[in-house]
Chain A
Amino acid sequence: MTPPPGSLLAAEELRKAYGPTVALDGAEFSIHPGEVVAVMGPSGSGKSTLLHCLAGIVPPDSGSITYNGHELAGMSDAQRSALRRSEFGFVFQFGQLVPELTCVENVALPLRLNGTSRKEAEKAALTWMERLEVDGLRKKRPGEVSGGQGQRVAVARALVTNPRVLFADEPTGALDSLNGERVMELLTDAARSTNAAVVLVTHEARVAAYSDREIVVRDGKSRDMERVV
């Protein structure tokens, strides 16, 4: 199968096993610029593994992943790291903010890793923190803010480099429904405003409702579902 025309990121026939446990068994995936795709499925179905493979974090055992026409398998570890730094953004379930850095330093971190000066990086970080309504937390450390606030800081960190693809792994998994909805609104609005594609891993239907399209993963196999509005 060839990737759909115009797709930014596509995967074919992905297989991945951790020892005897098969996580992916011929999974397919594609996403276009500006599109929000929800990857759904029960726990242990292989959703997160699919996300990790698509982001070049974990190499698949077989199958192909192309980003913007380039095969990820052909890239070195350093090239994939550079790709993640400059083209991709990440939000994880528990934020995974660096506890010892302040919130603004956390958001500025990806830019600093790309070589931006501290002053400029923190200026850009503040802009995104304002958009995500957490600019008041700039000097606080992650341990001093609430879960919802921390997750919004993590979204700001993911978007600060203007990534072309945003990977979000259960971004509201640790939040109450009110906070979860606010995070999703801000995340999808911000992504759409920058035309970033969003790969959204979730097992919650109300979170998946923010997507344009859903892919269900079960037993390592993926199925593209038409959005029913």
Chain B
Amino acid sequence: MSVGQWAKDLGMGVRFAFAGGREGWVRALLTAVGVGLGVALLLLTTAVPSALTEREHRATARDDFTYGANPLSKADDTLIIAEVDTTFRTQDVRGRLLEPEGSRAPLPPGVEKFPAKGEMVASPALKRLLESDSGKLLSERLPYRITGTIQQSGLIGPAELAYYAGGSGLANHLSNGSIERIDYFGPSSGTPDDELDPILILLVMIIFVVLLLPVGVFIAAAVRFGGERRDRRLAALRLVGADGRMARRVAAGEALAGALLGLVLGTAFFLAGRQLASLLKVRNISVFPSDLNPSPALAALVAVAVPAAAVLVTLFALRGVVIEPLGVVRTAKPPRRRLWWRLLLPLAGLALLYPMMGQGNGNGNFNEWMVIGGTVLLLVGVTALLPWLVEAVVARLNSGSVSWQLAVRRLQLSSGTAARMVNGIAVAVAGAIALQMLFAGVESDYTEDTGNDPSRAQLTMHVRDDVALGELAGQLARTEGVRHATALAEGSLGDRAKEPDNTVEATVAGCAELREVARLTSCRDGDMFRILGSEYDGETKKLTEPGETLYFDPAYPGSPSHTVSWKVPAGIKVAGPREDPTGYERGGLLFTPGALPEGTGAAMFETVYLSLDTSVPDAAEFARNTAARIDPLTSVNALTASRQSEEFRAIRNGLFVGATCVLLLIGASLLVSQLEQLRERKKLLSSLVAFGTRRRTLSLSVLWQTAIPIALGLLLASVVGLTLGAVLLRMVEATVSVDWASVLTMTGIGAAVVLAVTLLSLPPLLRLMRPDGLRTE
């Protein structure tokens, strides 16, 4: 067979695809929409690496903490920058105060000129939020006039909340860990690239397989739209002399036309979707349209693979079909599907994954290709097993209502179409169940117990040393939604005035506040204590014996100090250790305000633990506003019982974003496929209505036709998903346990997508059931 003949036949198929007037165009368009949605998602996937790289580049380009070994001196090209990040409800706000020290001070990326004191440049999203009603509380915290906008080069995403405000007097607080003098923005030298650990790499690989496989399955299903009408055309071709092979190639040509048009539509969908990307924010992730640039090589692969897959899928689908010149295509019951080769796929997958058991942990000594290959085979096994399962089960279904009978008989006659419709969902659900199991199994490795006790306090604040402790506690306690504020001043004492070998902590507060951080038997103003028995404290007992001399705020090179010497008095009391609300068990010395030696308070920083009334909406926001009013440099942190690894959380969020896109695609493609099937049966539906069939009966039959295969698909997906999940957990040497809640959630989401699609297809179904569908002229 010559290439020319192939091309000729495919070309004829392409022409057929668009022939047949409106009917032909609608059919080709539906195929193209199905393929196009898949292509758009594939292009989006090929753009993910560039989007991540661009985000990473911009994030690194604005790095402002260089952690240099040698502190800089004030110069014409230096800038003092203070980190004043905050949180507004659930959103993070990146904030910096800038104080240029000379004309050549570096400007942050995306900022055209330094804001003056009382002014700020804000990201567009923050500007919108501050100007909206919902941002009023935040605007109280950021009392700056907006004089400019941070450009794209200074933001990681369009929805990022960020600002740079003008600061003054920052040089006085350089010893504070969140204020630095810098002479450039960008990565600090010698920062090593972070490498993902092997389990996270495994998660990312599986996510890509799980998200992309349903897309492939859907593209394969979409190119088979309109099969019944096409079969009749093929029979007509046979009548005028085409042989069987030629007819198949013409059919492949029709699918090719749909795929090519789908490529065009998919590109258009992608470009249109890219423009809308800046309006979307999923789990705090937003992307600039210009970041979404498909990798040219991967995009070219999509452009070649999709049409090629269309041709191959059509030829494969027609392998068991007899196209005869007169008899149209045999619509008699096809031969029973065989199980043995369908089982080979998942078994081969398991065989590839088995040697990887225990290899994914620690040094990550697993073969990536075996993992990907095994997962693909196991999941593709779902698409191979499902048609067999649907056929085997529906063959045994029989009696029931008319709607049930219509549905079951339809499934018995063409269970393949129904199975194809739910294949994508089944693969997605199987993969999602496996991933959820893996996530749940390794979650504890990436979640650390912070030791915080949120039942005692929900916020902790660190305030500069020059704010009066009583004043601070009073203002915070009077804030709406604050139950009580525990304010402490903290510092240290050394065994030498300069560069001490040993130090102990010093904590100053009233008796009630000191009881929050230590066990005191009795206390009144003027008392002082030494804490003995603290778990990690070996110094206190040794350094605080009565008569020992200690030095408040000992001096270190390069940082200012106000060293004061002090002798431990004979009557000092002993206190027992107690964890503070952050879970820290301190040692050292405790002073009530009346016991604090003269001139020692200046070197202390202040910590406040806030207990909030959670019934007051925005209680935390009111407290943060008060803190910012006292001092914009106050750092406020929420206390949580556990904290998850940033990378782990990012990957989980990525899965969520990807799964959302795939489910939307699956839903849209299912709808298109459903409409196409209904359209093909328009005349039959009209004739059934003509002789009095109730619309309810027909609607129910459509529902059953979808519900039966989806129930079987989800059952199979659960089995395969649990198997894959168990294998993956063994691979990382985690305990195999089934998270039934996520199994039910995943299958529930799959079922909900199908139900939503069925409901959406009901209005067109009711329109198609109008008797005027019988008109032929």
Most buried by A among B410, B411, B687, B697: B687
Q: Contact between B405 and A90 (Cβ–Cβ < 8 Å)?
A: no
The stretch from B83-91, B105-113, B325-333, B532-540 touching chain A is B325-333
Is there a chain B Cβ closer than 8 Å to A57's Cβ?
yes
Measured CA separation A143–B330 after assembly (Å): 7
Q: Contact between A84 and B692 (Cβ–Cβ < 8 Å)?
A: yes
Choose one: A44, A52, A84, A105; the contact of B691 (CB below 8 Å): A84
Most buried by A among B691, B772, B776: B691
Measured CA separation A55–B683 after assembly (Å): 17
**Least distance between A24 CB and chain B CB atoms (Å):** 13
Q: Contact between B774 and A99 (Cβ–Cβ < 8 Å)?
A: no
Is there a chain B Cβ closer than 8 Å to A17's Cβ?
no
Complex interface residues of chain A between 2 and 21 (CB less than 8 A to chain B): 18
- Determine the chain A residues whose CB is within 8 A of the CB of B26 once the complex forms: none
Closest to B683 in A: A96
Choose one: B405, B409, B691; the contact of A110 (CB below 8 Å): B691
- Determine the chain A residues whose CB is within 8 A of the CB of B683 once the complex forms: 96
Closest to A114 in B: B692
Q: Contact between A88 and B331 (Cβ–Cβ < 8 Å)?
A: no
**Least distance between B420 CB and chain A CB atoms (Å):** 17
**Least distance between A82 CB and chain B CB atoms (Å):** 7
Q: Contact between B690 and A55 (Cβ–Cβ < 8 Å)?
A: yes
Is there a chain A Cβ closer than 8 Å to B689's Cβ?
yes
Complex interface residues of chain B between 355 and 404 (CB less than 8 A to chain A): 399, 402
Residue interface bits A98-114, CB-to-B below 8 A is 1, else 0 = 11111001000110110
**Least distance between B28 CB and chain A CB atoms (Å):** 24
Closest to A106 in B: B409
Q: Contact between A99 and B692 (Cβ–Cβ < 8 Å)?
A: no
Choose one: A101, A118, A158; the contact of B406 (CB below 8 Å): A101
Is there a chain B Cβ closer than 8 Å to A75's Cβ?
no
Size bin of chain A's contact surface = 35 or more
Is there a chain A Cβ closer than 8 Å to B775's Cβ?
yes
Choose one: A84, A88, A113; the contact of B697 (CB below 8 Å): A113
**Least distance between B771 CB and chain A CB atoms (Å):** 4
Q: Contact between B771 and A143 (Cβ–Cβ < 8 Å)?
A: no
Is there a chain B Cβ closer than 8 Å to A66's Cβ?
no
Instruction: Given the known inter-chain contacts A18-B775, A57-B774, A143-B332, please indicate yes or no for A100 contacting B406, CB distance below 8 A.
Output: yes
Q: Contact between B687 and A96 (Cβ–Cβ < 8 Å)?
A: yes
Q: Contact between A110 and B692 (Cβ–Cβ < 8 Å)?
A: yes
Measured CA separation A89–B687 after assembly (Å): 11
Q: Contact between A100 and B687 (Cβ–Cβ < 8 Å)?
A: no
Instruction: Given the known inter-chain contacts A81-B694, A90-B687, A143-B331, please indicate yes or no for A44 contacting B777, CB distance below 8 A.
Output: yes
**Least distance between A106 CB and chain B CB atoms (Å):** 10
Is there a chain A Cβ closer than 8 Å to B412's Cβ?
yes
Is there a chain A Cβ closer than 8 Å to B413's Cβ?
yes
Q: Contact between A58 and B772 (Cβ–Cβ < 8 Å)?
A: yes
Q: Contact between A144 and B772 (Cβ–Cβ < 8 Å)?
A: no
Is there a chain A Cβ closer than 8 Å to B414's Cβ?
yes
Q: Contact between B402 and A100 (Cβ–Cβ < 8 Å)?
A: no
Measured CA separation A112–B690 after assembly (Å): 15
**Least distance between B679 CB and chain A CB atoms (Å):** 16
Complex interface residues of chain A between 66 and 104 (CB less than 8 A to chain B): 81-86, 88-90, 92, 96, 98-102
Q: Contact between A101 and B405 (Cβ–Cβ < 8 Å)?
A: yes
Q: Contact between A141 and B399 (Cβ–Cβ < 8 Å)?
A: no
Is there a chain A Cβ closer than 8 Å to B700's Cβ?
no
Q: Contact between A98 and B684 (Cβ–Cβ < 8 Å)?
A: yes
Is there a chain B Cβ closer than 8 Å to A193's Cβ?
no
Most buried by A among B410, B688, B777: B777
Residue interface bits B670-695, CB-to-A below 8 A is 1, else 0 = 00000000000001100111111110
Measured CA separation A48–B414 after assembly (Å): 32
Q: Contact between A98 and B406 (Cβ–Cβ < 8 Å)?
A: yes
Closest to A87 in B: B692
Measured CA separation A85–B697 after assembly (Å): 13
Q: Contact between A141 and B684 (Cβ–Cβ < 8 Å)?
A: no
Q: Contact between A96 and B771 (Cβ–Cβ < 8 Å)?
A: no
Instruction: Given the known inter-chain contacts A99-B413, A100-B414, A101-B405, please indicate yes or no for A48 contacting B330, CB distance below 8 A.
Output: no
Instruction: Given the known inter-chain contacts A58-B771, A141-B332, please indicate yes or no for A112 contacting B402, CB distance below 8 A.
Output: yes
Measured CA separation A105–B402 after assembly (Å): 10
Residue interface bits B62-86, CB-to-A below 8 A is 1, else 0 = 0000000000000000000000000
Q: Contact between A141 and B402 (Cβ–Cβ < 8 Å)?
A: no
Measured CA separation A159–B195 after assembly (Å): 77
- Determine the chain B residues whose CB is within 8 A of the CB of A143 once the complex forms: 330-332
**Least distance between A109 CB and chain B CB atoms (Å):** 7
- Determine the chain A residues whose CB is within 8 A of the CB of B692 once the complex forms: 81-86, 88, 110, 113
- Determine the chain B residues whose CB is within 8 A of the CB of A109 once the complex forms: 402
Closest to A78 in B: B694
Q: Contact between A98 and B771 (Cβ–Cβ < 8 Å)?
A: no
Choose one: B406, B413, B684; the contact of A96 (CB below 8 Å): B684
Measured CA separation A85–B693 after assembly (Å): 7
- Determine the chain B residues whose CB is within 8 A of the CB of A57 once the complex forms: 689-690, 771-772, 774
Measured CA separation A83–B689 after assembly (Å): 12
Q: Contact between A100 and B409 (Cβ–Cβ < 8 Å)?
A: yes
**Least distance between B684 CB and chain A CB atoms (Å):** 6
- Determine the chain A residues whose CB is within 8 A of the CB of B697 once the complex forms: 113
- Determine the chain A residues whose CB is within 8 A of the CB of B414 once the complex forms: 100
Q: Contact between B775 and A90 (Cβ–Cβ < 8 Å)?
A: no
- Determine the chain B residues whose CB is within 8 A of the CB of A110 once the complex forms: 691-692
Instruction: Given the known inter-chain contacts A44-B777, A118-B399, please indicate yes or no for A105 contacting B687, CB distance below 8 A.
Output: no
Q: Contact between A113 and B413 (Cβ–Cβ < 8 Å)?
A: no
Instruction: Given the known inter-chain contacts A84-B692, A143-B331, please indicate yes or no for A100 contacting B776, CB distance below 8 A.
Output: no
Choose one: A58, A85, A105; the contact of B409 (CB below 8 Å): A105
- Determine the chain A residues whose CB is within 8 A of the CB of B411 once the complex forms: 100
Instruction: Given the known inter-chain contacts A48-B776, A52-B774, A105-B405, please indicate yes or no for A100 contacting B691, CB distance below 8 A.
Output: no
Most buried by A among B409, B410, B692, B777: B692
Residue interface bits A107-150, CB-to-B below 8 A is 1, else 0 = 00110110000100000000000000000000001011000000
Which 5 residue pairs are nearest across A and B when measured between Cβ atoms?
A85-B692, A143-B331, A96-B687, A57-B771, A84-B692
Q: A98-B406, A112-B405, A141-B332 are in contact. List 17 more A-B contacts (CB 8 A).
A: A44-B777, A58-B771, A58-B772, A81-B689, A81-B692, A84-B691, A85-B692, A88-B692, A96-B683, A100-B406, A100-B414, A101-B409, A109-B402, A110-B691, A112-B402, A118-B399, A143-B331
Task: Report 27 cross-chain contacts, Cβ distance below 8 Å, ordered by A residue.
Answer: A48-B774, A48-B776, A52-B771, A52-B774, A52-B775, A55-B690, A57-B690, A57-B774, A58-B772, A81-B693, A83-B692, A85-B691, A85-B693, A90-B687, A90-B690, A96-B684, A96-B687, A98-B684, A99-B331, A100-B406, A100-B414, A113-B402, A113-B691, A113-B697, A143-B331, A144-B331, A158-B691
B-contacting residues of A (Cβ < 8 Å)?
A: 18, 43-44, 48-49, 52, 55, 57-58, 81-86, 88-90, 92, 96, 98-102, 105, 109-110, 112-113, 118, 141, 143-144, 158
A-contacting residues of B (Cβ < 8 Å)?
A: 330-333, 399, 402, 405-406, 409-414, 683-684, 687-694, 697, 771-772, 774-777
